[in-house]
Amino acid sequence: MEKFEVSGRFYASIQHIQSAALFARHAHIIEADDISEVNGERLAEQRAYVTGTIFTSIAFLEATINEFFDDAADGPEEYLKAMSNEEKAN
């Protein structure tokens, strides 16, 4: 009987950048509104979306770097096939 190994890898960077894009779109919608109609609550909502955009963008960068090094160490070969084993080891 043959054994098969199934494995998977979750890339959080994808979720982070999608979240950043969503937050940015929501902030833009508020910013496009007539300024006379923006109240304190709406302004707080816009600031929350902008803050969310910034933080999830930072999380995207950090996750991407970590995922790159994880792939270089033991990840699927097809992702980093252009790199030599020596480059991956460094």
* DSSP string covering 18-74: HHHHHHHHHHHHHHHS-GGG--HHHHHHHHHHHHHHHHHHHHHHHHHHHHHHHHHHH
- Domain range list for the chain: 12-89
> Residue 75 has what pLDDT?
67
Structure tokens at 73: 């160490």
Instruction: Quickly state the pLDDT bin for 90 (edges 50, 70, 90).
Output: low
**Contact yes or no for 11/67 (Cβ under 8 A):** yes
Residue 10 CA, distance from chain mean position? 12
Residues recorded for the chain: 90
Closest by CA to 12, choosing from 77, 74, 56, 43, is 56
**What does the pLDDT look like over 11-54, one tens digit per residue?**
999 999 999 999 999 999 998 987 777 788 988 999 999 999 99
pTM reported for the whole predicted model = 0.75
State the Cα torsion 60-62-87-82 to the nearest 10°: 0
